[in-house]
Amino acid sequence: MEEQSGEVTQLLHAWSEGNRGVEERLFALVLPDLHRLARRMMSNERQDHSLQATALLNEAYFKLVSARERDWENRKHFFAVAARAMRHLLIDHARSRPKGAKVAFDDLEALLRGPDAQLELGVAIDAVLDEMEKKHPDWVSIVEMKFFAGFTDDEAAEALGLPVRSMQRRFGEARRWLFTKLQGPDGKVG
């Protein structure tokens, strides 16, 4: 794994310097992990979601390719950017859904308890994560991996190159910060 991680980092550096010849090898190495990340993110979505993991991966791929000249630090940085791109794609997809469809009064209660009730919370979380990125950029990757990608503590720590206890401590700090930001004036989240 460490050998592959080193190769990915080398390929990322060559790719960002304009060597398009390494792109195929780079994506051959990272594609299985990117697909696993997309499947994890989609597993947190509603069952009838109109976007599938492969489509999410394809859209994220185009965003990553367009950012090839970015100063990629390493494999960890690449996957943090990929997770963020997928999160933004899911939020954009949710925002683009038609609004204002007529609903029978009898169906209103079921709708309010359904998956669409979480849309506003998702948009609010996205805005708060943007704020978090400005103040605590190291927390954002952890939150994205844990909340959105469903990584275990061990998986997140390995992906970030941190000891598990350090990752858990930062995740706890990030959760407390998020909870405080998402609390409404009545003390309730949402």
- Give the pLDDT confidence score for residue 105 in this predicted structure: 36
- Give the pLDDT confidence score for residue 4 in this predicted structure: 66
DSSP 124-150: HHHHHHHHHHHH-HHHHHHHIIIIIS-
Q: In whole angstroms, what is the distance from residue 117 CA to residue 122 CA?
A: 9
- Tens digits of residue pLDDT in 25-41: 998 998 888 888 888 87
- Tens digits of residue pLDDT in 76-117: 888 888 888 888 888 777 766 655 443 343 443 443 444 444
Contacts (Cβ under 8 Å, ≥6 apart) of 29: 4, 7, 8, 11
What is the phi-psi region of residue 125: left when phi exceeds 0, alpha when psi lies from -120 to 50, beta otherwise? alpha
